[in-house]
Structures are given as structure tokens and as C-alpha cells.
Amino acid sequence: MQGGSIKDYLMLHLIVLIWGFTAILGLLITLPALELVFYRTLIASVGVLILMWFRKKPVLIPFHEMWKVIGTGCLIALHWILFFGSAKVSTASVCLAGMATTSLWTAFVEPFINRTKIKWYEVLLGLIVISGLLVIFKFESGYWLGLSMALVSAFLAAVFSVINGRLTQRHSPYQITFYEMAGACIFSLLFLPVYSFGFNDGVPIQWAWHGLDWFWLFLLGGICTVYAFSVSVELMKRLSVFSINLTVNLEPVYGIVLAVLIFGESEKMTPEFYYGTLIILISVLIYPVLNYWNRRRKKPVRTLG
């Protein structure tokens, strides 16, 4: 693997900036969270299928494997429903603060699923994240529901990312994305009646788009999902996993800054919120550094002879 050019790193930051914009798009779109996820995954699955057709990539995978990927798509649907729901019941900043815990959730989920040993520094960083969350909860108690939804969404993101780590060993990223988006679309459609009567007090499903919803939805499904994914796959060929993960951890930072710039006063929080968020982000940024140091420390030293 090559070190990558300056253009590659700039493109990586652009992709992370695009991902940080998704919570803001969730607020700009008037649709409720579940209907929003349905349209996003529908647009994304069709978009990936068209992309695969143009690039002549194989679509079909073994039937027994297909259900595993589609099932993972159901987890992704729940993740996005909670993600956009969090932004709508609180603010984009609160949502992104909770999502900043994804990489640390992964630090605990991955050893559990792959049956590996938990690292001591992951436990320490997890405790630091909890302290940051306590600071936010103490001073921003009015947003407890939104932050709780974001934390569960971050946990689900950690689970399906670990599962995807296994699936990519057997299938191409394009195949995985297509079937996961299709699975997420089908799940959100089947879940609509349960959501409407069980969680939405019988409010009718909102299918109609209003104003610029059509534009924001195609931006979300096309640019933030299909385009960002395809470019990130290409960058993985030239950049190290360490450099990519370190940069992706900046997504909440970009998102919170964009939210304040776009929504202004409605996104401004108390200083304590930013203190707590800063604690979380510091721990998130420290994690890949410690992980890299730990791998280097355990690497056997080569001697001449």
C-alpha cells in the first residue's frame, strides 16, 4: 500500500465533511425519521446498483450469504432511524456528540464478537467517554432523549461495522452496500405500521415531500451515501487504515461546526456541552494513536544476522 498523495488526504477530509453533514440534512428534510430512512436507502440502493452496472461489477451472491447481508441492513436501518430521530428531538450537535462514541463502542463490540482480548487502554478511554457524557447530561438534561438515541445509534453502528469487517472478506464492498441498503429499505417499509401505532401515537405516515425535500433526499442518498462510499473504497487502496480511521473521527467536529454555522442560535449549547463533547472527542482521537502504538510495541524486532 502506498502512502497516498496530498490530493488523497484532501479527498478523505471532503468525504468526512460530507458524512458530518448528514445530521444537518436530517433536520432540513421535513419527513419523520423512519420515512426519511426509507427514501434514503431506496435512493442509495438504486444508485449503487446503477454504479455497479456502469463499472460491470457482479451483483449476485450466494443465497445463504445474501440473508446475512440483508439482516445487517436491518441493523443499519435502526441505526439511521435513531440517528435522524435524535437530531429531530434535540439538535444536530447533540446527535453528533453521541455518535462520537462509535469508535469506542467498536473497541468493546469487536473483541466480544471476534472473541479477542479487551485492551486496557480501551477500558480507560471508555471511562473517559462516560465522564464526558455525564458532563453533558448534567448541564443539558433537556436533551437526554436525543443523546440516548444517539448513543444507541452509535452502538448499532459499531455492531454492523464489525459484522461488515467479516463480510468484506467474502464479498465486494459494492455487493455488501447494495444488499444492505436494499435490506434497510425493506425493513423500514415493513416497520412503518409498528412505528406509526407503537411509537408515533397513530400519526399517519408522511410520504409526501415538501419544499426542497426532494433535493435534500437525493443529496443524502446520492452524495452522502453512494458517492462518499465509492470514493472511500477507492481511497482504501492508497491510504492506511490508521490514517483513514483517525480522519473519520473528525466527523462529529465537522458536523457540529457546520450545524452552528447553518442553524445559528438554535444549535448553540451551554459551554459545559462543549466541554463534555471535547472530552469525548479527545478520547476518540487518542484511541487510534494508542492502538497503533500497541501494535508497534508488540511487533517483533528484526535483528541482523
What DSSP string describes 151-169?
A: HHHHHHHHHHHHHHHHHTT
Q: Model pTM greater than 0.85?
A: no
| Nearest C-alpha neighbor of 51 from the set 178, 196, 180 | 178
What is the residue-wise DSSP string for 101-112?
A: THHHHHHHHHHH
How far apart CA 100 and CA 203 sit, in angstroms, is 32
Q: Using DSSP, state whether 199 is helix, strand or coil.
A: coil
Cβ proximity of 221 and 29 under 8 Å: no
DSSP code at position 46: H
What pLDDT score does 274 carry?
Answer: 78
The CA–CA distances, whole Å, from 114 to 118, 150, 163, 165, 295 equal 11, 25, 10, 10, 18
How far apart CA 286 and CA 119 sit, in angstroms, is 14
- One digit per residue, the tens of pLDDT, for the chain of length 305 reads 445 677 888 888 899 889 888 888 988 999 988 999 999 999 999 999 998 898 888 898 988 889 999 999 999 999 999 999 898 888 888 888 888 777 778 778 878 887 777 777 777 877 787 788 777 767 666 788 888 999 999 899 888 878 877 787 788 878 888 999 999 999 999 888 777 665 555 567 778 888 899 999 999 998 988 888 778 767 766 776 556 666 776 777 788 888 878 887 666 677 877 788 788 778 767 776 777 777 777 665 444 44
Helix, strand, coil: what percent of the chain each, to 5?
80, 0, 20
| Nearest C-alpha neighbor of 130 from the set 282, 279, 303, 231 | 279
What pLDDT score does 140 carry?
Answer: 64
